[in-house]
């Protein structure tokens, strides 16, 4: 899977299938995207390879108070991925809309559903949680093992 910013200056490739994809309805994501929710595919940062250009990182306030480090194109400033303090730098939250084929990463869970906009209808066949959740409760075993390995490698 490959992705890029809007001007095309930054291109990247994912070297593996993402671990799990969040559809986040928190008010922070709503504000940052200017939309109803954010779609983030979680993957080991070590599996993200830059094909061209370089990102610039912008620290943005986050709900935890610890900040979110967003990697953006230095020219068009489009956000490509980010790291949250809670998961560490070893895990990248890929902005699914920046992938060439975003349909390849449908949501696995809806989070912060308590603040979803009233006209958004959640599908009955996917888990939805009011806020966040314990990864082990919803992630497939193989993805959880990969996650633990990435956390162990990067601290
Ligand atoms: Zn760009
Ligand atoms: Zn959010």
Domain boundaries, the chain: 2-154
Helix (H) or strand (E) holding 147: helix 141-154
- 61-69: long-range contacts (C-beta < 8 A, 24 or more apart)? 61/28, 62/28, 63/26, 63/28
| Ligand 1 center from residue 10 Cα (angstroms) | 6
Q: Is 86 left (phi over 0), alpha (psi -120 to 50) or beta?
A: alpha
Q: By the 8 A CB rule, do 101 and 87 touch?
A: no
Q: How do residues 49-100 score in pLDDT, each as one tens digit?
A: 999 999 999 999 888 888 899 999 999 999 999 999 889 999 999 999 999 9
DSSP string across 83-97: EETTT-TTEEEEEGG
Residues surrounding ion ligand 2 at CB below 5 Å = 24, 26, 29
Residues within 5 Å of ion ligand 1 by Cβ? 5, 7, 9, 73, 75-76
CATH number for region 2-154? 3.90.1590.10
pTM value is: 0.95
**Cα dihedral sign for 86, 87, 90, 91?**
negative
Token couple for 66 = 């610890």
Is residue 43 very low, low, confident or very high in pLDDT (cuts 50, 70, 90)? very high
């Amino acid at each position: 899977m490959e992705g890029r910013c809007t001007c095309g200056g930054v291109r990247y490739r994912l070297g593996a299938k993402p671990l799990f994809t969040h559809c986040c309805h928190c008010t922070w994501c709503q504000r940052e995207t200017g939309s109803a929710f954010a779609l983030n595919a979680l993957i080991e940062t070590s599996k993200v390879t830059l094909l061209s250009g370089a990102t610039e990182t912008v620290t943005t306030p986050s709900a935890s108070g610890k900040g979110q480090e967003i990697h953006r194109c230095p020219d068009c400033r489009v956000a490509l991925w980010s790291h949250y303090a809670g998961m560490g730098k070893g895990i990248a939250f890929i902005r699914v809309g920046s992938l060439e084929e975003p349909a390849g990463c449908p949501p696995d869970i809806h989070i912060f559903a308590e603040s979803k906009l009233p006209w958004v209808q959640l599908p009955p066949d996917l888990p939805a949680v009011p806020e966040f959740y314990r990864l082990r409760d919803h992630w497939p075993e193989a993805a959880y093992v990969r996650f633990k390995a990435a956390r162990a490698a990067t601290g």
